[in-house]
Structure 1
Amino acid sequence: MADETLDPALINTSDGPVLIVAAAKQETERSSGRHQHCRGQLFGSMRGLLTIGVDEGVWVVPTTHAIWVPPHRVHWARSHGPFHGFAVYVAEPACATLPAAPCAIRMSSLLREATLRAASWPPGPFDAPAGRLAGVILDEIGSLPADPLGLPLPRDARLLRIAQALLDDPADGRGLEEWARWAAISDRSLSRRFASETGFTFTAWRQRARLMRALEMLAEEVPVTRIALELGYSTASTFIALFRRTFGVTPALYRDRFQSAPGSEAGTR
């Protein structure tokens, strides 16, 4: 998230430098409501966890990844627990060669270090070295592979109502048939359309929503057993086993990783 001292007018114009980079540290959670601006934005963190949302989906972002949002796209953001992060605002003309849709990218060490250097630049026009480094940052944003980290949202209003209810309460244990009745849609249509519009079956999407909420709770230092029970798992061991299958590590180790120093976990190409 951007530094609170950054003038909002700077990110609502493409005048000035091609990049504006801001950094922020805080020990408490921070959020920004739905908004848009004429510059594209890259969200990332060195410590802690971010949740970024757009109309099409939601991402829970550990320090290994960053989220790109193109110009004029409505989005919102919030941090979880202690947080140290950055925002890169890209002038609209320079976004022509960058991803056209919001996406998650795996952070490279080069992108992370270049961004941190740029965050220390004084306001004003770039000198030659700064201009070259800005080009490196743009090249990295444009060339790093997208990562399917997020949770796509359905477009159908009835399905979107179900998805939003599950995001509000991932532990809701109603089955597909009950949700279909609640949203006034046939269970067969719900199943078929959910898969076609999100790329996930209804059951897989709900499981992914629960795991994304688990990541947020881990960042907030909620005990693993409490996370399991609050998200509707029958036992902590069931939750831990599913988490390990999905992320390759236990919840406790995952929490340690995204709270550790960025150099120990920075992504590479």
Structure 2
Amino acid sequence: MSDLMNALGAYMDSAEGPCVVAATRVLDRELSSEMHRHARGQLFGSIKGLISVQVDDGVWIVPAIHAVWLPPHQAHCGRSHGPYHGWSAYVAEAACADLPKRPCTIRVSGLLREAVLRLAGFPPGEPPSEAQSHVCAVVLDEIRSLPAEAFGLPLPRDTRLQRIARALMANPADARDIESWADFGALSSRTLSRRFVAETGFNFTAWRQRVRLLRSLEMLAEGMSVTAIAIDLGYASVSAYIGLFRRVFGETPASYRLHLQTKA
């Protein structure tokens, strides 16, 4: 696997080679990376497990049914939660002209996943065959046509709000009320409320709720029980957590975890 990744690495910042190159990774431990960027665009997701990705103005928690698209030169970092089986596709900058201009999440179609896995099977370092070029075209068509979905957590731009947001991301169970958070950020509660909506599209309560739910996805992937998650994240009861999870994601936490564990 290391030889494959080394060979693939030669393409990440190069226009040479196929317009799309891909690889898969299987690890029995967590995978993490520092903030970095590539000259190529990148699409990546998981076959089994959960990943989180951060860019300058947002964070995504990405289950196996979604993938993150990053345009060329986009700074990002990421990590998996628990054992990781995932894939990445790198798109030459010239082929990104009609692909999304900003980072986004897309729901992965069966066709897209299979096309990426097929590309990962082609030997790196060799001139692209006609078959490989056809599969590249399928991947590009799928990225271009699949709908973007709001599955991330936008970060505010105001440095005072960012301080509050990052504190909540570090400890989603923090139960301070909005007045206390406003004091923490050195601004009025009215300004906090107004600017949070303007800069993230969520009111403060909804944003905090989303932090907890997305963190709960990570905890589910790490094998924690539903009861422990509800307690650790400060929900009033286990049933309150389950009910909110079902309203947002359309299934119970237990069902969602089963999908994470059995997705193949």
Bin of the TM-score, shorter chain as denominator length: over 0.9
Give how far 1:82 is off.
1.8
Which residue is equivalent to 2:100?
99
In the alignment, is the contact (CA less than 8 A) between 2:29 and 2:84 conserved in 1? yes
Which residue is equivalent to 1:129?
131
Aligned length: 261
SS of the residue corresponding to residue 95 of structure 2 reads helix
The answer to whether 1:83 aligns with 2:89 is: no
* Unaligned 5+ runs, structure 1: 263-269
Which residue is equivalent to 2:184?
182
Q: How many Å separate the matches in 1 of 2:80 and 2:14?
A: 26
Which residue is equivalent to 1:259?
261
SS of the residue corresponding to residue 172 of structure 2 reads coil
Which residue is equivalent to 1:195?
197
1:1-269 matches, cutoff 5 A: 4-123=5-124, 124-262=126-264
Give how far 1:250 is off.
1.0
Q: Deviations over 1:152-177 (max 9, x none)?
A: 01011111111111111101111111
Give how far 1:103 is off.
0.1
In the alignment, is the contact (CA less than 8 A) between 1:18 and 1:91 conserved in 2? yes
Q: How many Å separate the matches in 1 of 2:204 and 2:6?
A: 43
SS of the residue corresponding to residue 97 of structure 1 reads coil
Q: How many Å separate the matches in 1 of 2:167 and 2:7?
A: 35
Taking structure 2 as the reference length, the TM-score comes to: 0.96
Q: How many Å separate the matches in 1 of 2:36 and 2:87?
A: 18
SS of the residue corresponding to residue 29 of structure 1 reads coil
Give how far 1:6 is off.
4.5
Runs of 4+ in 1 over 2 A off after TM superposition: 2-10
Q: How many Å separate the matches in 1 of 2:131 and 2:171?
A: 49
Q: Deviations over 1:183-241 (max 9, x none)?
A: 11111111000001100000000000000000000000011111111111122121111
SS of the residue corresponding to residue 211 of structure 2 reads helix
Q: How many Å separate the matches in 2 of 1:130 and 1:17?
A: 8
In the alignment, is the contact (CA less than 8 A) between 2:8 and 2:21 conserved in 1? no
Q: Deviations over 1:14-47 (max 9, x none)?
A: 2222111010001111101100110110011111
Give how far 1:9 is off.
3.5
The answer to which of 122-131 and 193-202 deviates more is 122-131
In the alignment, is the contact (CA less than 8 A) between 1:6 and 1:22 conserved in 2? no
The answer to which of 235-244 and 195-204 deviates more is 235-244
Give the letter for the 2:262 counterpart: S
SS of the residue corresponding to residue 138 of structure 1 reads helix
Give how far 1:4 is off.
4.6
Q: How many Å separate the matches in 1 of 2:161 and 2:216?
A: 23
In the alignment, is the contact (CA less than 8 A) between 2:64 and 2:263 conserved in 1? no
Q: How many Å separate the matches in 1 of 2:122 and 2:26?
A: 17
